[in-house]
């Protein structure tokens, strides 16, 4: 591998010239090796071949006389020259074929490299999106992060997130990315059901729990509903990805490639398969967190706030009202003769009564009111920005409805006498604590009991 000696370079060049003349310093026919460094020492392109050949002929003639060797005639020379040309042609063909194979392999390696780079890029984007799903335990925020990540990272122009309502057989658009015509979204919101032509494609995806790849012009195995879906979205290529939580498909992610020149590859679909699994787990965790959070503040029997949340809300409302110098009221409700119901008909009937009363109070309250169960058969409502007169009207309305409800229940349970005793207190003394306000409302409730129950009393300070 070191530098070639000048003499060796000259010999190598001479051998090659002789080889083309079917002569040389070797006694068998093969292509001599011409060291790549020969041209660095011997300028082959500037060699004058004719004088070299004349000198070669003189030396051959001299050697023939001295050693009594036969000289090749013209016929022998032509035969040797033809063999040389055959060998050169064979070598040239071998080189050309090897070059073509090498170029093909280089292209294949280039394609593999491009695919690997694309796959690595997509996996990095996937990892970023999955990390984004872990930044929030709010399902709507998770969905927003995912749509933003897919749209920005993969470059898809339009995305739709559908919520699956299996009971009603409806598929409802919940969130979008990109520019969707308003009339198209309204059409989805108004009438996308499994029975409709567009809906059947989405339903098939839900049933199979597999990604559905729709592409214009690919008719084999393509439902007419799929063509209809492509047409409705004015798209040439779609991916519909089912998202499963608790082993059921609860959502669909529709990726619209619209008229992009690059189609969605099988490798990209595999990436979205991984995303779907991780996204399902993220949404399941979020829903579990919401459930646990709700259980911490909601009464499990009546599905309204529990005592802890009521106390927290009351403290917050006192702070807010004190800061803005505003009054508010609270109402305490107690189910009359509830012990008799439990003793006579059992706790199952008692629980039914409590749930019904809670529902009546909740349905007659405002969205800004806080409704909860203090415990047993006692309920409380916090009424922001409400003076005593309005609170009294609210309490009287609830009392009257529960009284009518009690009449209906008496037809089934004759010994039930379901009514409410209600006590009211207004927060207008900005020095009152939560305990002070509850005490006032409780005193008013006690007065209602003393009046014979089924009545409303306000605290008179």
DSSP state of 45: G
Same domain, yes or no, for 358 and 416?
yes
The answer to whether residue 299 sits within a structural domain is no
Where does a domain end: 38, 71, 104?
71
What tokens appear for 92 in the block?
A: 């040239």
In the chain, what are the helix, strand and coil shares in percent, each to the nearest 5?
55, 15, 25
Q: Domain tally for the chain?
A: 3
Per the structure, the complete domain to which residue 63 belongs is given by 6-71
Hunting for tokens 């060998």 — which residue is that? 87
Asked whether the beta carbons of 274 and 226 are under 8 A apart, the reply is no
Same domain, yes or no, for 250 and 318?
no
Q: Kindly provide the residue ranges of all beta strands, DSSP E only, lying in 297-385, ordered along the sequence.
A: 328-335, 370-375, 378-383
The answer to whether residue 109 sits within a structural domain is no
What tokens appear for 40 in the block?
A: 């660095």
What tokens appear for 432 in the block?
A: 């009152």
Same domain, yes or no, for 288 and 145?
yes
- Model confidence pTM above 0.75: no
Q: Measuring CA to CA, which residue among 53, 68, 60 is closest to residue 20?
A: 53
Hunting for tokens 């409802």 — which residue is that? 172
CA-to-CA separations, 202 to 211, 242, 343, in angstroms, rounded: 10, 9, 54
Where does a domain end: 14, 48, 71?
71
Active site residues: 377
The answer to whether residue 102 sits within a structural domain is no
- Rg from Cα positions in the chain: 46
- Determine the angle formed by the axes of helices 347-363 and 338-345, rounding to 10 degrees: 140
Predicted confidence pLDDT, tens digits, the chain (461 residues): 456 788 888 887 777 777 766 565 555 555 556 777 787 888 888 888 888 888 888 887 888 788 887 776 767 677 777 777 787 788 888 889 999 999 999 999 999 999 899 899 999 999 999 999 989 999 999 999 999 999 999 989 899 998 888 787 777 888 999 887 666 666 666 555 544 555 566 777 788 888 988 887 654 444 445 667 777 777 888 898 999 987 889 999 999 887 777 788 888 999 999 999 999 999 999 999 988 988 899 999 999 999 999 999 999 999 999 999 999 999 999 999 999 999 999 999 999 999 999 999 999 999 999 999 999 999 999 999 999 999 999 999 999 999 999 999 999 999 888 999 999 999 988 889 999 999 999 999 999 999 999 999 999 87
Non-local (6+) Cβ contacts of 278 within 8 A are: 130, 133
In whole angstroms, give the CA distance from residue 233 to residue 251.
19
CB-CB neighbours of 405 under 10 Å: 18
The answer to whether residue 393 sits within a structural domain is yes
In whole angstroms, give the CA distance from residue 418 to residue 431.
37
């Amino acid at each position: 591998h070191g530098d070639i000696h000048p003499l060796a370079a000259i010999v190598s060049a001479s051998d090659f010239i002789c080889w083309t003349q079917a002569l040389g310093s070797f006694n068998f026919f093969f292509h001599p090796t011409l060291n790549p460094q020969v041209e660095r020492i011997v300028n082959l392109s500037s060699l004058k071949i004719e004088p070299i050949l004349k000198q070669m002929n003189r030396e051959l003639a001299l050697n023939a006389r001295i050693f009594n060797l036969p000289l090749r005639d013209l016929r022998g020379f032509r035969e040797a020259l033809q063999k040389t040309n055959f060998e050169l042609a064979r070598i040239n063909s071998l080189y050309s074929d090897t070059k073509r194979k090498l170029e093909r392999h280089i292209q294949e390696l280039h394609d593999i490299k491009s695919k690997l780079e694309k796959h690595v890029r997509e996996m990095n984007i996937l990892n970023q999106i999955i990390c984004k799903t872990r930044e929030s335990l709010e399902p709507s925020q998770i969905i927003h992060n995912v749509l933003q990540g897919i749209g920005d990272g993969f470059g898809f122009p339009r995305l739709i997130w559908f919520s699956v309502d299996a009971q009603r057989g409806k598929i409802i658009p919940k969130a979008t990315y990109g520019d969707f015509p308003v009339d198209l979204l309204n059409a989805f919101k108004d009438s996308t059901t499994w029975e409709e032509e567009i809906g059947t494609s989405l339903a098939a995806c839900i049933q199979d729990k597999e990604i559905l790849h729709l592409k214009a012009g690919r008719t084999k195995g393509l439902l007419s509903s799929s063509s209809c879906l492509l047409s409705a979205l004015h798209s040439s290529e779609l991916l519909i990805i089912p998202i499963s939580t608790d082993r059921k498909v609860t959502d669909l992610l529709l990726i619209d490639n619209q008229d992009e020149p690059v189609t969605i590859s099988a490798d990209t679909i595999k990436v979205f398969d991984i995303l779907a699994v991780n996204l399902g787990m993220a949404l399941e965790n979020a829903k579990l967190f919401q459930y646990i959070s709700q259980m911490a503040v909601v009464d499990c029997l009546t599905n309204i706030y529990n005592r802890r949340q009521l106390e927290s809300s009351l403290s917050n409302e006192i702070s807010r009202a004190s800061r803005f110098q505003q009054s508010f009221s609270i109402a305490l409700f107690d189910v009359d003769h509830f012990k008799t119901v439990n003793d006579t008909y059992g706790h199952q009937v008692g629980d039914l009564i409590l749930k019904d009363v809670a529902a009546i109070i909740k349905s007659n309250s405002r969205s800004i009111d806080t409704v909860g169960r203090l415990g047993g058969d006692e309920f409380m409502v916090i009424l922001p920005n409400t003076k005593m007169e309005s609170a009294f009207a609210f309490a009287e309305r609830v009392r009257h409805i529960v009284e009518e409800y009690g009449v209906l229940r008496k037809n089934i349970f004759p010994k039930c006498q379901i009514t409410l005793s209600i006590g009211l207190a207004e927060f207008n003394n900005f020095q009152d604590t939560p305990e002070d306000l509850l005490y006032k409302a409780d005193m008013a409730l006690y007065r209602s009991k003393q009046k014979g129950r089924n009545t409303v009393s306000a605290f008179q300070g």
